[in-house]
Amino acid sequence: MTTATTAARHRIGHVAVWALQILMGVFFIVASGAPKFWGDPYAVQIFAEIGAGQWLRYFVGAVEVAGGIGLMVPRLAGPAAVGVMALMIGAAYTQAVIMGAPDLMLFPALFFVLAAVIAWVRRDSIAAWLPGR
């Protein structure tokens, strides 16, 4: 394999990861977080079913928007991906255990895997945030 081929693959991988980060970031801001703030009836209903109160809807919306923004900021992409992974663990648990709908775990599991890929690729930015670095 030539150096040019290796460089081309690296470039394609770099662009693909950035595209994934941007798509996930926009999704978490526009399609997931924002509806929780503006009181989308489905979001209100879901959080009423969870039984923790509507404050949780605002909190989760804020975390989703922050994660979405973080995914699109180079220095924050790795830590934001880890945060999204934690959020998706909570979403999967809530849907499977609290709401009794394990079939709805598919999307949080998919987003967890995609965030894990981003976290792995951006692991240097995660290490930069650790104490002693």
Mean pLDDT over all residues of the chain? 94
| Full-model pTM | 0.91
C-alpha–C-alpha distance, residues 76 and 56, integer Å: 24
pLDDT tens by residue, 54-74: 999 999 999 999 999 999 999
Residue 1 pLDDT > 80:
no
Domain boundaries in the chain? Answer: 3-129
List the one residue out of 21, 118, 130, 12 whose CA is nearest residue 73. 21
Model pLDDT for residues 92-130, shown as the tens digit of each residue: 999 999 999 999 999 999 999 999 999 999 999 998 888
Contact indicator for 29, 63 with CB cutoff of 8 Å: no
